[in-house]
Amino acid sequence: MSFSNPSQVSVGIIGCGNIFPAYVRGLRMFRILNLKACADLNPDSAKARAEEFGIESRTINGLLADPTIDLVVNLTVPQAHARVGMDILRAGKHVYSEKPLAIDLDEGAQLLDLARESGLRVGCAPDTFLGAGLQTCRKLIDDGWIGTPTSGTAFMLQAGPESWHPNPAFFYQKGAGPLMDMGPYYVTALVHLLGPVSSVTAVTSAPRRERLATCKEQFGTLLPVEVPTHYSGSLVFASGAVVSMTISFDVHSHRHSPIEIYGSGGSLAVPDPNTFGGPVSVRPAGCKEWGEIPLVHGYPENSRGIGVADMAHAIRSGRPHRCDGALAFHALEVMQAFERSSILGQRVEIARASAQPAAFPLGLLPGVLDE
Ligand SMILES: NC(=O)c1ccc[n+]([C@@H]2O[C@H](COP(=O)([O-])OP(=O)(O)OC[C@H]3O[C@@H](n4cnc5c(N)ncnc54)[C@H](O)[C@@H]3O)[C@@H](O)[C@H]2O)c1
* Domain annotation for the chain: domains and CATH numbers: 9-124 (3.40.50.720), 133-296+331-349 (3.30.360.10)
Q: Which atom in ligand 1 lies closest to the alpha carbon of residue 80? A: 31
Ligand 1 centroid to Cα of residue 226, in Å, is 21
Residue 2 has pLDDT above 80, yes or no: no
Report the pLDDT averaged over residues 110-126.
98
Report the pLDDT averaged over residues 357-370.
94
Q: For ligand 1, atom 21, which residue shows the shortest CA distance?
A: 17
Q: For ligand 1, atom 4, which residue shows the shortest CA distance?
A: 19
* pLDDT, mean over the chain: 96
Ligand 1 centroid to Cα of residue 46, in Å, is 12
Mutate to test the pocket of ligand 1, among 76, 98, 274, 308 (most ligand atoms within 8 A of CB): 76
CA angle 144, 148, 153 (to 5 degrees): 110
pLDDT in tens, 242-300: 999 999 999 999 999 999 999 999 999 999 999 999 999 999 999 999 999 999 999 99
pLDDT in tens, 49-104: 999 999 999 999 999 999 999 999 999 988 899 999 999 999 999 999 999 999 99
Residue 4 has pLDDT above 80, yes or no: no
Q: Which atom in ligand 1 lies closest to the alpha carbon of residue 16? A: 39
- Residue 174 is predicted with a pLDDT of 85
Ligand 1 centroid to Cα of residue 143, in Å, is 38
Ligand 1 centroid to Cα of residue 94, in Å, is 19
Q: Which atom in ligand 1 lies closest to the alpha carbon of residue 125? A: 7
Q: For ligand 1, atom 28, which residue shows the shortest CA distance?
A: 76
Ligand 1 centroid to Cα of residue 81, in Å, is 9
- Residue 117 is predicted with a pLDDT of 98
Ligand 1 centroid to Cα of residue 110, in Å, is 21
- Residue 11 is predicted with a pLDDT of 98
Ligand 1 centroid to Cα of residue 15, in Å, is 6
Q: Which atom in ligand 1 lies closest to the alpha carbon of residue 99? A: 41
pLDDT in tens, 317-344: 999 999 999 999 999 999 999 999 999 9
Q: Point out the least confidently predicted range of 13-17, 164-168, 176-180, 269-273.
A: 164-168
pLDDT in tens, 187-213: 999 999 999 999 999 999 999 999 999
pLDDT in tens, 169-181: 989 998 889 999 9
